[in-house]
Amino acid sequence: MKLTICNETFHVEVQYAKRKKIKLEATPEGHLTLKVPRHTSEEDIVAFLESKSEFLMNLRQKQKKKKVYFESKILCGRGVISLRWSGTPSFSIA
Above pLDDT 90, what percent of the chain?
Answer: 36
Confidence of residue 84 (pLDDT cuts 50, 70, 90): low
* pTM score, whole prediction: 0.65
- Res 90 pLDDT > 50: no
DSSP class of residue 21?
A: S
pLDDT for residue 47: 93
Residue 83 within a domain: yes
Residue 44 within a domain: yes
Number of independent structural domains in the chain: 1
Domain that residue 17 falls in: 2-87
Q: Are 81 and 71 in contact (CB under 8 A)?
A: no
Give the residue among 46, 32, 45, 37 at the shortest CA–CA distance from 16: 37
Residue 56 within a domain: yes
Residue 63 within a domain: yes
pLDDT for residue 81: 62
- Res 54 pLDDT > 70: yes
Question: What's the average model confidence in pLDDT over 64-88?
Answer: 63
Residue 40 within a domain: yes
Residue 12 within a domain: yes
